[in-house]
Structure 1
Amino acid sequence: MSESYPLSTMSHSHVDSEIGLSRNSSVRGMRQGIDEHNNYYAERAWRYADHIAARANHGQNRYLFCGSHFRALCELVSKSAPNNPKKPLEFDYVVCCDFSGVSVGTESARRQIQTFDTTASGLDSFASLTDPAPQTTRVLFLRGHPSAEWIKVLGAQQRIEFEYFRQKLPFLDKDYHDIPALPSNSQNIFHLNIMTVYKRHRALRWSQVDKLRKAEKKAVSKYQRSQSYVGDSIVRRVCIFDESEFAIEQDISICIVNQRGRGKTGKTAIVWLDSGRELCHDSEAPWECPLNPGYITPNNALPTIRHIPSKILASMSRLEPSVLGPERPTCSQDTCLPPSAEHLPYQYGLTLDPVIASNDLLYALSELLFFVACNEVQFLNLIEQRIATLMDGFKGYESIVLEELNYAMRLLQSRARHIADTQALLENSGSVLRNGGDRRGRRSRAPSMSDDQNSCRCSEALHAESLLVEDFAYLARRATALITQARDGMTVVSNTVMLEESRRAISKTVRLEKLTLLTFFFLPLSLTTSFFGCNFRELGGTGQLSIWVMFLTLLPVMSLTAVLCFWDHISAIEWTRKLRLSKN
């Protein structure tokens, strides 16, 4: 269920007494990012923060629909900017891509890119950003970790549900085990997932790989809580494949903003990327070993390979630097790790028809979904190659290969869940995307397009949607096949280990049989010599018996030992003879 806005009629004094968020301190915090003369936007942002506080005050001891899970978000929006003297480079935190349905002007005019950096002027400019015009679809890219000011301005301007921020930043609070949420609870909130693969310049030792894997969850949690700058890249998980390759998992969260005024404004989709600033090389990072860091350079990051459609190849002018957008500032360190989606906001929509994108939000987001599909197939190819490498030479390393196949299978199961979520997005939530967030099914139609043109445009949008459904169905089958391949590989290795154990047991049994035969000969001799004590005349003993007495005694003793030793065989032969006689 979506949050109503405003959420509460509670007095400000009651809210302030429970949460500790005062109006004066909030306004002062807002004026750090917004000019003082622009009190209207500061007031809207403060009211949004006040509504979060009111919702968070709904405790479980009094309310059925409690808001305890929003307390961490409330604490975040009440924080002031960190006073860190070492400020990072300016960074474009918001990239706005508008697709206009007006069929006049050039194609570049129908696709407009605006950027808003992390400075106070950038926040001020974004706060005054107007709603998209009718016949316009806006894709609003957010990049990386937010600040309190950005959350308040974004939420107030776009009327974003509180649940969207909480699902995006679950590591801020304790785990209430409610994420992922039910589809019915967040019909206009969707989550995608991408992986960025890196190669180390210097390989680690296997013991270090095992140590990184065991400490990965705790290290990622610590890394998430240490982020303080706006735009810092968020890391969800670090997958350590082997000594030289690892991958960083990141999310893409989509929120479809409800249209205002029944078609008086355009459609808006907020796309929040975990990929923000470049990940700087740090010995305390969850992918690095402090004792022996394997240095990584930007060239070691594998890009997401995209197929260029034929219509783009026919007109390569779309790929000129003047069309691609501004070049983002690069990190001053040589060991920064660029995320795979760093160019996505600036160059988004190059393969789309702006007129169709302005009328169909699912088509406007199709390029993002194709990007996720290409990223996914690369990761599955990597896992398949990894499994093949493990199965080619596991002789003598069975225990290690079993651990690696189990690790690969768990990764594949995680990827299969993400693929299934995306398939559900396309199959069950496509109407929400096509209707621009209107859950009642109303869909605005561009009046400038004739019926023939509209049907032609819709056919291209439907074609893109069918391609997405086909691609993610292929990815689901591929992930399932790889899970089966990994499980079968574990079975093969386990059976090989069991076969080797059986062979060793058989070899041990043969050696025991030889020992038994030796015992058969020496045990009667030892018994006899012990009995007589070797006191024979021939051996110079003091006894009166001859040594032949020992041999005469040894013969019946050895005969009795042979009967007892081979009794099973003797009884089997006797039973077979009697059976033959009975048949005759």
Structure 2
Amino acid sequence: MTPPRSAAEYRQAILKFGSRSYTRSILHGYIYRFLVELLRDNDADLARKFPNLDHYEIAHVTKYDATTPSPPSYVRGHAYLSNSQFLIEQEISITIQAEETVLWSDVGNRPLSQSLDFHRFIAHLTACSKTGFSSIRFIPPSLVGRDSDVCDDALPFLPSLHPTSNDPSLIQSATHLPHEHHLLVDPTIAALDPMYALTPIFAFAAATENEILGTVSKRYELISSTRWDPKHSVDYMEQLILHKHLLDEHAFRHEEVLRFLAQEDFVRFESNLSPEHAVIARKAKQSLKEDFEFLLHRCNILSTRHDGAMNNLVGLTALGEARKQIRLATQVTKLTVLATVFLPLSFCTSIFGMNFVELVGLRVWVWGLVTVLVGGVTVVGYAWDERGVWVEGVRRLWARRGGGSEGA
């Protein structure tokens, strides 16, 4: 059995590799905070003030080596989760080669402007970029509450313009993992089982994904419980469709992760472990499997609920349009009845008015009689198309009276 590495040796082995395969790390934050971090000035002045704009890091997950500068990190996917929250995603690489653990490295190489635009994201950034201070900075939050024993230089970042301000909406990042990784796993087991060594990365992604699903779920509950308003129906439908696509994409990603975790090649690593260590590694990997199975199940449930919400929204919209048509038809019916009464009167008045001289000898009751006769003919003609309804009504009335007489 290969002797276990020390923590320092193990960490050096981790930092040595990192450029193949891939999974994704989810980065989660607040859209207004993102605007503060990225674009706070006129777009025309950005290139002049920041000639190396493409090299600024929004957030990164990288193999850390003090002698090598960190590569730029570019956002790959982004979307609104609500009016105040957004989602950005990065591709990272994970490779297991022989019995060496190859850890995560950002493999992005395209700028934000070429990232997938889900929801008018770039246009919104442009519209909001002319206010506030000119500041592009990266702040790595400490997500693990213990300081690392490895005394390396901190990852580079630009200091805050307001260091004393309360800033609770920091973008969530995995930059703590290279520093704290040896504290999150047993170095003795991780040196012999690379799959066990990767459990903190998958656990971080699973925890963040669970947070994202919670945000999507809250937004769904808000939309589904809100009284239908035609003014907001389009916005609600766009959000539901967007979240539906995100949920389906994430569900597919979780299936890929589960297939990755289920590979039989990883079982052979446990043969190098003692029985006690093998149990620990197996439990850690089984816990990851259960986490991603839960996330997959939750994605599928939320996706189904979004389908139902979209169908309900379409139905409510159609019902609203149907109500409009019914009101319009009622108004047209009223106008028709009014015209039915008005036209005979207008006709008779016109006839008698135009021939006033010729008909001067007639009495006024003649005009009334003619008007009544013409009106009666008009009503009969109007009711002729509805004769079926009248006949059916008379039959029902006759049947009721006949039934009442027989009963008496």
Structure 2 residue 24 is matched with structure 1 residue 195: no
State how 1:115-126 maps to structure 2 within 5 Å: none
Q: CA deviation at 1:529?
A: 2.3
Is the contact between residue 536 and residue 547 of structure 1 (CA under 8 Å) also seen in structure 2? no
Residue identity in the other structure for 1:463 = K
1:559 matched residue in structure 2: 376
Q: Which is bigger in relative contact order (C-alpha 8 A, separation at least 6)?
A: 2
Residue identity in the other structure for 1:385 = K
1:256 matched residue in structure 2: 96
- C-alpha separation between the residues in 2 aligned to 1:500 and 1:273? 49
Of residues 178, 186, 191, the one that matches 1:358 is 191
Q: Aligned to 1:113, what secondary structure does the other structure show? A: helix
1:237 matched residue in structure 2: 77
- C-alpha separation between the residues in 2 aligned to 1:497 and 1:367? 46
2:157 matched residue in structure 1: 330
- Structure 1 residues without counterparts, runs of 5 or longer: 1-99, 115-131, 133-137, 143-159, 165-188, 205-224, 260-265, 280-284, 309-318, 437-442, 447-453
Residue identity in the other structure for 1:399 = V
Is the contact between residue 193 and residue 249 of structure 1 (CA under 8 Å) also seen in structure 2? yes
Q: Aligned to 1:347, what secondary structure does the other structure show? A: helix
Q: CA deviation at 1:202?
A: 9.5
Structure 2 residue 345 is matched with structure 1 residue 513: no
- C-alpha separation between the residues in 2 aligned to 1:303 and 1:379? 18
Question: Which digits, 9 at most, give the CA deviation of each residue in 1:45-76, with x for residues without a partner?
Answer: xxxxxxxxxxxxxxxxxxxxxxxxxxxxxxxx
> Normalization by structure 2: what TM-score?
0.72
Q: CA deviation at 1:233?
A: 0.4
Q: CA deviation at 1:463?
A: 0.7
Q: CA deviation at 1:470?
A: 0.7
2:4 matched residue in structure 1: 102
Q: CA deviation at 1:567?
A: 2.9
Q: Aligned to 1:322, what secondary structure does the other structure show? A: coil
- C-alpha separation between the residues in 2 aligned to 1:415 and 1:432? 25
When residues 298 and 339 of structure 1 are mapped into structure 2, their CA distance, relative to the original with a 3 A threshold, is farther
Of residues 371, 375, 391, the one that matches 2:208 is 375
2:259 matched residue in structure 1: 424
Q: CA deviation at 1:495?
A: 1.9
Question: Which digits, 9 at most, give the CA deviation of each residue in 1:247-292, with x for residues without a partner?
Answer: 22111221222x3xxxxxx42324223589xx9xxxxx95862343
When residues 565 and 345 of structure 1 are mapped into structure 2, their CA distance, relative to the original with a 3 A threshold, is same
Is the contact between residue 324 and residue 347 of structure 1 (CA under 8 Å) also seen in structure 2? no
2:222 matched residue in structure 1: 389
2:272 matched residue in structure 1: 445
When residues 467 and 321 of structure 1 are mapped into structure 2, their CA distance, relative to the original with a 3 A threshold, is closer
Is the contact between residue 137 and residue 160 of structure 2 (CA under 8 Å) also seen in structure 1? no
Residue identity in the other structure for 2:94 = I
Residue identity in the other structure for 1:507 = R
When residues 198 and 382 of structure 1 are mapped into structure 2, their CA distance, relative to the original with a 3 A threshold, is same
Is the contact between residue 29 and residue 171 of structure 2 (CA under 8 Å) also seen in structure 1? no
Residue identity in the other structure for 1:571 = G
2:47 matched residue in structure 1: none
Q: CA deviation at 1:370?
A: 0.7
- C-alpha separation between the residues in 1 aligned to 2:246 and 2:325? 36
Question: Which digits, 9 at most, give the CA deviation of each residue in 1:272-329, with x for residues without a partner?
Answer: 23589xx9xxxxx9586234327698999896967x9xxxxxxxxxx23434754223
- C-alpha separation between the residues in 2 aligned to 1:520 and 1:334? 77
When residues 531 and 249 of structure 1 are mapped into structure 2, their CA distance, relative to the original with a 3 A threshold, is same
Q: Aligned to 1:327, what secondary structure does the other structure show? A: coil
Q: Aligned to 2:178, what secondary structure does the other structure show? A: coil
Q: Give the aligned CA root-mean-square deviation in angstroms.
A: 4.0
Residue identity in the other structure for 1:289 = L
Question: Which digits, 9 at most, give the CA deviation of each residue in 1:427-463, with x for residues without a partner?
Answer: 2x2x334446xxxxxx7626xxxxxxx1121111111
1:488 matched residue in structure 2: 308
2:323 matched residue in structure 1: 503
When residues 292 and 578 of structure 1 are mapped into structure 2, their CA distance, relative to the original with a 3 A threshold, is closer
Structure 2 residue 364 is matched with structure 1 residue 547: yes
When residues 338 and 325 of structure 1 are mapped into structure 2, their CA distance, relative to the original with a 3 A threshold, is farther
> Normalization by structure 1: what TM-score?
0.52
Is the contact between residue 4 and residue 192 of structure 2 (CA under 8 Å) also seen in structure 1? no
Identity, % of aligned positions: 25
When residues 274 and 349 of structure 1 are mapped into structure 2, their CA distance, relative to the original with a 3 A threshold, is farther
When residues 304 and 464 of structure 1 are mapped into structure 2, their CA distance, relative to the original with a 3 A threshold, is farther
Is the contact between residue 240 and residue 287 of structure 1 (CA under 8 Å) also seen in structure 2? no
Structure 2 residue 382 is matched with structure 1 residue 572: no
- C-alpha separation between the residues in 2 aligned to 1:286 and 1:462? 44
Between Structure 1 and Structure 2, which shows a larger proportion of helix residues? 2
1:524 matched residue in structure 2: 344
- C-alpha separation between the residues in 2 aligned to 1:328 and 1:288? 30
2:147 matched residue in structure 1: 320
Moved more, 402-411 or 225-234: 225-234
- Structure 2 residues without counterparts, runs of 5 or longer: 37-52, 57-68, 113-120, 163-169
